[in-house]
Structure 1
Amino acid sequence: MTPPSASDRQQPIPVIIDCDTGVDDALALLLAVRHPRLDLRAVTCVAGNTDVAGVVRNTLTVLERAGAPDVPVARGAERPLIEGVRTARHVHGADGMGDLGLPAPTRAPADVDAVTLLRREILASPRPVTLIPTAPLTNIALLLRTHPEVTGNIERIVFMGGAVATGNATPVAEFNVWHDPEAAAILLTAGVPITMYGLDVFERVIVPGTHVRRLRASAEPGTRLAGDLLAHRGPATDASDPGGGLGDAGAVCAVIDPEGLTTRRLPVEVSLAPGPARGQTLVDRRLRAGESELHDGVREQPLVDVALDVDVARYVELYLGAVERTEA
């Protein structure tokens, strides 16, 4: 990713998050609300970690806890473009939010659908918007196919999804891409700069247990929620001192501080065929063409800034510094 210029750093970055809240989506929302470098213009919801109604409820609750009740939230796709919904409640709890017993939100979502809200906020922004999808990419695919004119005011799409090496939904496919592979394939043809924040870095950014306990002891609702969510996420940095993974929040860190991420611009495509490789992001790291291209011809593939390494301590410090602010 290209670091922002000195003049750009003086203004908050307009961002929209498309999410399936979700424990780690909630961590991402808390960061986006509280970091002064970001101007969170809207949040759109899609089925994924839980059903879309639960995603809307969880999103509104998190925004209220974070101190941002006025950010517009819209309900989006109830299912992938082709297949049925396959939730991750076994990871995120029955309510999608770690079964923390959080109160219901006090306000309703916007009276427009997610695609309409995305189009409205992107075109209305005085500066190009950065989209941060942390969920299956159904809403984004529908937006790009229905309103392709929005790409003229999109700075970059930084999506949490995919994997260069190992998957989690299957041995080779990451959940968000696996959930709606056709939508991910459409995203890659958006014609705007794209960063893939995949499992290769996603799973590495761990907040040590001592910090998680401090967050959980806070009297400030948003800070305490961050600690509770991290405690639910696991994994452990040390068996005697378990920490919590930032997960999707790392993609937000990458927008705020792109220099903390090591990327390489590479061809990426999504496997769409039925079978064990469906949903795999095929990242071509070869230095030259192989026999397939020599015999069958070279196929043009979208170039994506693929995250290959991350400065863990830098992103943990960034996150903690933001969520422990007492004012949003």
Structure 2
Amino acid sequence: MTGQPIPVIIDCDTGVDDALALLFAVRHPALDLRAVTCVAGNTDVDGVVRNTLTVLEQAGAPGIPVGRGAERPLLEPARSARHVHGADGMGDLGLPAPTRVPADVDAVTLLRREILASPRPVTLIPTAPLTNIALLLRTHPEVTRNIERIVFMGGAVTTGNATPVAEFNVWHDPEAAAILLTAGVPITMYGLDVFMRVVVPAGEVHRLRASGEPGTRLAGELLAHRPTAQGEQPEAEEAGGLGDAGAVCAVADPRGISTRLLPVEVSLAPGPSRGQTVVDRRPRPGESEIHEGGRERALVDVALDVDVDRYVKLYLETVER
């Protein structure tokens, strides 16, 4: 590592894999985690705040401010993913309640304060529905002068998970995602195409779970978490995906992903394509542009490939520090 740590702020909906992302961000020496902001997504926003404070406490993090944000998307009702992340949003691990408390300002105010106060431009890492970020950009557009880049976990080039074509974070608040793409700063999309591929082998997960250090052990328990439908038997296999944590790895070590600068837009119309990130990989304009004229679309660095072994090694070395 050379130079000063990168100032980062994580906006999350903690969540099993958001928790993995926080553990990594706290412990990687090249990252200076300046704040964490919380939004409804995997669970309700108060649950997200509680989970975030718990993870920071278990990790032995310094007093990083945590801000409570939006309770619901801009237009839609909140729709949780407790069926994936457990009733408490954190795999129902029975973790103790945190002794820490959130900041005395809301998430948007905290984001503005920390971005503008940073002596160096901040990298924003949203790993959640983008409601807080959209509200920030619309309320305080001046923050973009001190944002280096936004690296968001969201979207998909090919297959979705919330719908056949839409990824959960973008699907949860498509209007917010569309606002993000107009931020006027460099954006990297760490979507499902790479998100699903970075898996920690079972042997490594087992080793983490046996650790005597609370943060390392928590990483192992989170990686081992498996959602099971009613009546299903839990899987014995402990291999676990890094999920959102991969987006933070991509900030610490951007050479681990391959990206292309491509036009991206979010489908906002009602129906089966709502929430889709439409990524244009064509080598030349098509008939639509020729006959109807091109409309302005955001250019985004879209992650298309990932060095899985590199990020698994990076994650394990970091959380075991």
Task: Place the TM-score, normalised by the shorter chain, in its bin.
Answer: over 0.9
Partner of residue 21, structure 1: 14
Q: Is the 8 A contact 2:83 2:227 kept in 1?
A: no
The one of 263, 273, 283 equivalent to 1:277 is 273
Deviates more, 1:65-74 or 1:216-225: 65-74
1:74 matches 2:67: yes
Q: Is the 8 A contact 1:60 1:69 kept in 2?
A: no
1:42 matches 2:35: yes
Q: Is the 8 A contact 1:254 1:261 kept in 2?
A: yes
Supply the RMSD in Å over aligned alpha carbons.
1.2
Partner of residue 299, structure 2: 303
After TM superposition, list the pairs within 5 Å mapping 1:1-328 onto structure 2: 9-233=2-226, 241-325=237-321
Q: Is the 8 A contact 1:195 1:305 kept in 2?
A: yes
Moved over 3 A (4+): 239-242
Superposed displacement of residue 69, structure 1? 4.3
Q: Find the residue that maps to 2:269 and give its secondary structure.
A: coil
Distance 2:74 2:10 in 1: 20
Superposed displacement of residue 216, structure 1? 0.0
Superposed displacement of residue 240, structure 1? 7.3
Q: Which amino acid aligns with 2:202?
A: G
Instruction: Give the TM-score normalised by the residue count of structure 2.
Output: 0.97
Q: Is the 8 A contact 1:264 1:306 kept in 2?
A: yes
Q: Which amino acid aligns with 2:194?
A: V
C-alpha change, 1:116 and 1:240, in structure 2 (3 Å) is closer
Superposed displacement of residue 233, structure 1? 4.7
Distance 2:301 2:225 in 1: 30
Superposed displacement of residue 179, structure 1? 0.1
Instruction: Give the TM-score normalised by the residue count of structure 1.
Output: 0.94
Q: Per-residue displacement from partner, 1:45-102 (whole Å, max 9, x unpaired)?
A: 0000000000000000000011114000010000000000000000000000000000
Q: Is the 8 A contact 2:223 2:238 kept in 1?
A: no
Distance 1:145 1:304 in 2: 20
Q: Find the residue that maps to 2:225 and give its secondary structure.
A: helix
Q: Is the 8 A contact 1:266 1:305 kept in 2?
A: yes
Q: Find the residue that maps to 2:272 and give its secondary structure.
A: coil
Superposed displacement of residue 300, structure 1? 1.4
Q: Find the residue that maps to 1:30 and give its secondary structure.
A: helix
